[in-house]
Structure 1
Amino acid sequence: MEFSAITWLFLIGTIILSLTTIWFVIILFQRFLRKKTIGTVYLLMVFGAIALAENINSISLWLSAYRVAPETLTGTFQIFYVSLYCLGLIFLYFFGNRHIIDDNEIIRTLYGVLTGVIVGVITSLNMVELFGAELPGFHSLDRGIIGGTHLVEYTPSLFLSLILLIPVALLILFRIALKLAFVQRRIKEPIAKRGTQYIMLSFISIAITLGGAVFFITPALIKIPALTVLGQVIRIVFTSSTMLFGYLGWVMPEWIRRRIRKKAWIVKELSRAETIEKGYTFTTSKTINDELLQAKEVSEP
């Protein structure tokens, strides 16, 4: 069976995302074994759900590509792909409350119950319609062929997708990213500051990934090859960025710590050199400038 280039983009892209998310979950699990904190558990649940979602989606598209399984099976995988992603973002809300946004107990309970009910109801409606028992006068599930491919994709209807994306996903992510933006400006310690910046970029990357979902949940757009390619590229790049920035921010490997410490030391040396230039008239400005330039080249290879 011959596949188009766009089909291969989707199939290879799902493998990349599956491997990337599995790698990050393994890293987080290793961190949990060392730290054994509730925050790490929440974080592991967030990215565990996302990794499971990406792997289920990969299986569904490969099955669809080779047409070796009934559409009810691939459709079930794709419905649960959306549900698992949303579940991961609900866990992210509770993680964010532990460390970042600090809602009170009543708001946390209401939000958890509301979003959980929304995800559960929409998943149930999608499954009922997938197996041919559509409710009279109500449409909950869209079936489309991804533009430029023969891949079949099932998604919640546009109306239900927006109900999922806005309260369950984007509001959580933008609240956390906005709070982190304020927090990182007040942090003075270089390693903590850089780690917070990476974490903020991780959340922004998830938001952009979800924003790219508009190309797949809108029936008119999913038929346009150029837009589906753009949507898939956004998914690959920004989901991978989510994992990379999450690794740099939460795990903070020793090599990045050394690099940050080195830059922090260089900043101190630059300040000291400027003080020397002002305090000792026999040191020429050219000598100081040459030393500053060399220090910058060392700190920014």
Structure 2
Amino acid sequence: MRIGLLGTGPWAARVHAPVLAAHPSYEFAGVWARRPEAADALGEAHGVPGYADLDRLLSEVDAVSIALPPTVQADLAVRAAEAGCHLLLDKPVALTVPDARRVVRATGAHGVASVVFFTVRFGGEQIPWIEKQAATGGWFTGRSDWLGSVFAPDSTSPYAASPWRREKGALWDVGPHALSVLLPVLGDVTLVTAVAGPLDTVHLVLRHAGGASSTLALSLTAPVAAGGTGMELRGESGVVHLPERGEGPVAALHRALDALAESARTGEPHPCDAAFGLRTVEILAAAERSLAAGGPVEV
């Protein structure tokens, strides 16, 4: 498939563009950005043209990989779906439930495949671990910590200049990662309670449809020495921990693109499609309502 890249920021330049240029199942066709000079520069680095006209790019490709803030992703995803392009989306799909629903409706109406790039869900060791725990069942409770230091005083993160992350915080940035692992193992969420911690830190308590509960600690402002991720499940089979990520996002994106190509070929939805992305947005939006209301909120 011919595929285009939408976006030229750090995530696009560090991960998306190199993978699109190297993936054997795709022909990297070009780059579009709101600043044509940025599209030209990133495209030139990978031997493809930059596009100033988005509609022209959409007419010349079979799929798009979107590496843009969620504030603009939904509109562009709908536009790409209407042009018949399969969608590699970033998380979160959108920052509001109505926008996320528009993306899902567009993929269905125009018969295009979609995959949301939750990096952990496409990890080499994480994929079989998640499948095994989902098949095992009998889980009583789960705990997930996603403590980042993007906005810590001594942070060197390239994403510290991200306006949407600063505005929406850890709930919307790392919350989707935790949900992407918990939901396929413990089941859908029916009730969420959120409590604010220091700075942007948020603590969630989730009730799952199968009867289990889980707790999440999410932050982008943790001290660098205190940062890190971890997940623990406890149930009838004992205690298990999510394997640490031993590889970067490049390998994971290769797998996500494999999944998109397979879904486009077969017409079978992938478990991490736009509809799953919508569900995570619905849960995060419920968490925001819980923070405002000071109590539990049904999802």
TM-score, with structure 2 as normaliser: 0.25
Which structure is richer in relative contact order (CA contacts within 8 A, separation 6 or more)? 2
Structure of larger gyration radius = 1
| Higher relative strand content | 2
TM superposition score normalised by structure 1: 0.25
Quick check: which one's helix share is greater? 1
